Amino acid sequence: MQFDANKRGLFKARKTVSTDNLLPWVISAQTFLDNCTQCGDCLAVCPEKIIIKGDGGFPNINFDLGECDFCGQCAEICNEPIFTATTEQPWLKKAFINQTCLANENIYCRSCAESCEAQALTFQLGLSAVPKIDNELCNGCGACVAPCPTKAIEIKE
């Protein structure tokens, strides 16, 4: 979902961010847009290098580059009042599988399940079973995104 701060009439310059790309533990899209100075400290500290300079220069998560291991370093390095305590739940993101999954073409693939440490991705018996996601187990880490050959997995709230 795209959050547009201009709709609240708060900024002259357009500031938007997709809530799907927000960093873990960010309080809200509005708080992020109001307070992020685009200093880049969170990009530099992320051990997984999944934080990129996104639209408008704001930091974004990009799961094509890897997964979040929830180390909390991005939230801890930030000097602005943007993040909750890292003892809280990092985000509400979950994985969703779209129609491009190879199982829909009767092609065998288990790449996503093999990358899921939480074991949230399972297949029913049979060659072309479509993967199922257990929302109770999925933490939105994004580890299943990059290994998917057809970009069938999206991480969003």
Residues near ligand SF4 (CB under 6 A): 23-24, 36-42, 45-48, 50-51, 59, 68-74, 77-78, 80, 82, 95, 115-116, 118, 120-121, 133, 138-144, 155
Q: What is the DSSP letter of 68?
A: -
| 8 A C-beta contact, residue 123 and residue 105 | no
Q: Which is nearer to ligand SF4, 70 or 128 (CB)?
A: 70
* CA distances (Å), origin 121, targets 17, 132, 139, 142, 151: 28, 6, 11, 12, 15
Q: Residue 87: what are its φ and ψ, rounded to 5°? A: -80, -15
Q: Which is nearer to ligand SF4, 29 or 142 (CB)?
A: 142
Q: Which is nearer to ligand SF4, 47 or 126 (CB)?
A: 47
Q: Which is nearer to ligand SF4, 56 or 72 (CB)?
A: 72
CB of residue 99 vs ligand SF4: minimum separation in angstroms? 17
Give the whole-angstrom CA distance, residue 104 versus residue 65: 25
CB of residue 61 vs ligand SF4: minimum separation in angstroms? 6
Give the whole-angstrom CA distance, residue 32 versus residue 82: 6
CB of residue 26 vs ligand SF4: minimum separation in angstroms? 8
